[in-house]
Chains A and B, each alone.
Chain A
Amino acid sequence: MGEANDIVETAWQELPRADRNLLKAISADQWQVCGRTLGAYADELLRSAGRSSLSSAEIARLDDALALWVPDLRIVLINESHPAFDGLDGPTLTYDLSRVAWHEWGHALSIDRASEEDVAAGERYVDLLPDGLARLVRQAGYRRREYTHEVVAETYAILMTRRRHGKTERPPWLHPEVYELVRRVAGWNQ
């Protein structure tokens, strides 16, 4: 757990300062690395905070997740015992956990800051993604109203990966409308 938490802490520190400040401003700067299926765990946390329980269908759906943003608790949860992280060497685990954490912080920004029009345009934004990314979003079983948040979160995670190579401007493979969405919603302003 310690190693995974250190990786997520480093991923947090790698965020541009303005993005960290934005996440702090919306109270999205807390995370927990755990070894639990996340639907059941999020449900426990919500109930212990006096919130409504999740439906059993929703719990089952979220149990597959590698990580979650829980808006009502303002926390990112990461399941380090998810089979997707099994047997990885150090650098690969670092890459994967960092990418997942960046995705969730992108989620947090998008869910708080995307407009109703942005959410309604989700299918169009998915259409504008490179094919492989669009396939990931379409085939993972997200609801249509989650598409815009997934587009922002995935794009944000890859922009952060790319930032490690010193590149911060719009990638040539990213449609300008998607880049503008991420700039507007996630505050990406590099």
Chain B
Amino acid sequence: MEPMKLPAGYRLPKGTTMADVRRLDQELLASEGLGAQARKAKEDRGESPSKKK
């Protein structure tokens, strides 16, 4: 019989939360101009879509 393959889990490092994971995702997306952070940064710079020509 083939040896059992151990289950593979999604675990977080001690002290890390899903909020940290979301923040990391948002930073990566923002680095290419995507997501809420990027939208906010554009708004802060007065570059909201409604102000674009």
Contacts and interface: CB of A to CB of B under 8 A. Distances in A.
Interface residues of A, number: 50
A83 B20 CA distance: 14
A112 B35 CA distance: 32
A135 B25 contact: no
B5 A71 contact: yes
- The prevalent SS among residues of A at the interface is helix
Contacts of B6: 54, 58, 71
Interface in A65-85: 65-72, 84-85
Contact of A84 (B12, B28, B35): B12
18 contacts: A51-B4, A54-B6, A64-B11, A65-B11, A68-B8, A70-B7, A72-B4, A96-B21, A96-B22, A99-B25, A107-B10, A130-B28, A136-B13, A139-B14, A158-B28, A162-B34, A171-B28, A172-B31
Interface of B: 4-14, 16-18, 21-22, 24-25, 27-29, 31-32, 34-35
